[in-house]
Amino acid sequence: MIWSNYFGVVLLLLFLADLVIFHRKLATRRLRSLLVVATLVAFSFLPLLNVATFDLRNNSAPIASAIDLKNALVTFSFPVFSIFGSVAVAPWYLPFSIPIFAGTVLLLVAIWLSPGRRWLVYFVLAMVLLALSGHMSVKRVLFLLPWLFLAIGISVTSRTSRYSKLGAIAVAVLIITGWIGIVSGKHYATANLYEPWGKVAEVVAQDARRGATIVSVNPPFFLYLDYELGLEFDTEAAETAYLGEDLYRSHGYTILQPDEWQTWAGKLHGKIVLVNGSGFLEQVEEQNALNDALHLRCKVLGEYRAAADPAALWKARFTKDTPVFAYRTNVIWYDCPR
């Protein structure tokens, strides 16, 4: 239990509900102990109450447009798809995603018609509450998987399960399809595993040593660059991969983030290297605006693009007011006059 995460209280409430509903006699016998524990948990939750209510209020607002609806559906459905299938298989690769969809439906039927049904219900409730908290993503649903595994295990092995063989076949289909995607390595929904930041940092580090100005927002790039520049000690002591403009200057490098670029972009001259990639939304937007400004007054010396995003068209269609990268790694070299 990580008490800094208020979602732990949700899990305890679900366990309490299971105890009261399915083990009523035991709950009655232990009523005093249950009340004491529930009171302690409630008091421990009070410091997090404002954060929890704020998240629920912000993420349960009515959907106002078709774009908001699409965005909400994608945000919820992709982690669900990845749980049953794999992040190694994107939904738009139909030869693999169709077996995953079919296997998931069959598995849910087998679970629903077995004693594992209630654990599936708790799993779904937890997923919905996680979405309402605004933290729905593939990496954040992993701690809920034991509940799903329990439901699957009961449906497949219980003698009272009506369709245990159907569940076993569905599990086999999902496992085999997911591992085909993992082994092939060509059907991921995102290309972040193939972003060559190590190679980019090796090249850009040479530019930094020759006096070029480096601008980026991408944390993995900064991490690789720090090690290429021999700043291992500073990296280990820092809170983020970007060590700060002053520290870089103390080592003879000009390495910036695009924050408030309007105040200093006009003073840039000589060789400028823009390293574009994923990052915080506000910084990515600043980086894109800086790129547009440099295009107007500087000469493009070269460009390197890698890790084409196979989901770029889908993201452009379903995401709202969010920059979409056709390539997740994009480096542009400029020569800017004084």
Q: How many structural domains does the chain have?
A: 3
**Residue 101 and residue 154 share a domain:** yes
Give the least confident one: 14-28, 49-63, 210-224: 49-63
Tell me how many helices (H) and strands (E) the chain has.
15, 5
The DSSP code sequence of 296-327 is HHSEEEEEEEEEE-TTHHHHHHH-SS----SE
Q: What pLDDT is attached to residue 41?
A: 80
* Residue 70 confidence (pLDDT) above 90: no
Most trustworthy range by pLDDT among 137-151, 170-184, 200-214: 200-214
DSSP 17-28: HHHHHH-HHHHH
Find the range with the poorest average confidence among 52-61, 91-100, 198-207, 306-315: 52-61
Give the three-state DSSP class for 331: strand
| pLDDT value, residue 71 | 67
Q: Residue 4 has what pLDDT?
A: 45
More confident residue, 113 or 136: 113
Q: By CB neighbour count within 10 A (0-12 exposed, 13-18 middle, 19+ buried), where does 235 fall?
A: middle
Tens of pLDDT, residue by residue over 179-197, are 988 888 777 776 667 789 9
Q: Strand, coil or helix: what is 256?
A: strand
What is the DSSP-derived secondary structure letter of residue 116? T
Span 260-284, mean pLDDT?
Answer: 85
Assess whether 129 and 210 both reside in one domain. Answer: no
Are residues 266 and 210 part of one domain?
yes
Two structure tokens written together for 324: 């979409």
Please give the Cα distance from 87 to 178 (Å, whole number). Answer: 8
Task: Give the least confident one: 93-97, 147-151, 257-261, 281-285.
Answer: 281-285
Q: Which residues pair with 304 in a beta bridge?
A: 331
Sorting pLDDT into bands at 50, 70 and 90, what band is 322? Answer: low
Q: Last residue of some domain: 188, 223, 243?
A: 188
Q: Are residues 198 and 250 in the same domain?
A: yes
Q: Are residues 197 and 227 in the same domain?
A: yes
What is the Rg, in whole angstroms, of the alpha carbon atoms belonging to the chain? 25
Q: How many CB atoms lie within 10 A of CB 12?
A: 14
Of 295, 309, 333, 313, the C-alpha closest to 216 is 333
Residues linked to residue 215 through DSSP beta bridges, in sequence order: 256, 274
Tell me which of 188, 204, 233 is where a domain ends. 188
Any idea which residue has 């997911």 for tokens?
Answer: 178
Q: Based on the fold, state whether residues 246 and 281 are members of the same structural domain.
A: yes
Same domain, 42 and 83: no
- Region of 218 (left: φ > 0; alpha: ψ -120 to 50; beta: rest) is beta
Higher pLDDT, 193 or 156: 156
What mean pLDDT, rounded, does the chain reach? Answer: 84
Question: Does residue 204 sit in the same domain as residue 319?
Answer: yes
The reply to whether 263 and 308 lie within a common domain is: yes
Distance CA 181, CA 177 (A): 7
Domain that includes residue 100, residue range: 64-188
Is residue 197 domain-shared with residue 332, that is, in the same domain? yes
How far apart, in whole angstroms, are the C-alpha atoms of residue 51 and residue 54? 5
Of residues 51 and 1, the one with the higher pLDDT is: 51
* 248 alpha-carbon distance from chain centroid: 30
Spatial separation of the C-alpha atoms in residues 81 and 104, rounded to whole Å: 9
Which of 188, 217, 246 corresponds to the end of one domain?
188
Does residue 140 or residue 273 have the better pLDDT?
A: 273
Q: Please, what's the b/e burial string for 141-159 (b: 16 or more CB within 10 A of its CB; e: otherwise)?
A: beebeebbebbbebbbeee
pLDDT tens for residues 292-314? 999 888 999 999 988 777 777 76
Residues 86 and 141 in one domain: yes
Are 154 and 210 in the same domain? no
CB-neighbour burial class of residue 28 (10 A; exposed 0-12, middle 13-18, buried 19+): exposed
Using alpha carbons, select from 158, 161, 178, 182 the residue that is nearest to residue 104: 178
Quick one: pLDDT at residue 320?
Answer: 61
